[in-house]
Amino acid sequence: MVRELAHYELAAYAAVLTWPIREALIAYRAMMIEAARAAYRHELSMWASIAPHGGKKSEPPPPPPILREVVIRVE
């Protein structure tokens, strides 16, 4: 978790370790949400490009659980 919060920069590890636990967890959750959002956006675009050419009607992929409680931005 420290590595991800420090963006894998060795010099930043010490600074991240001084963060309060609450702040570190909030930052880590934000990173998880952004990663899930990017993965879901990719899944959705793949579905949207393949669905019209399929023989049967298919539903879009459901959002991951972490995004169900977060409003998804459309860009």
Instruction: Tell me the per-residue pLDDT of 20-31, one tens digit each, with 9 for 90 and over.
Output: 999 999 999 999
pLDDT on residue 57: 87
pLDDT on residue 69: 77
pLDDT in tens, 44-66: 999 999 988 878 888 999 999 99
**What is the pTM for the complete model shown?**
0.79
Percent of the chain with pLDDT over 90: 72
Q: What is the mean pLDDT of residues 33-37?
A: 94
Apex 34 CA angle, 30 and 40, nearest 5: 140
**Helix residue ranges per DSSP H, the chain:** 2-5, 13-17, 21-50, 65-68
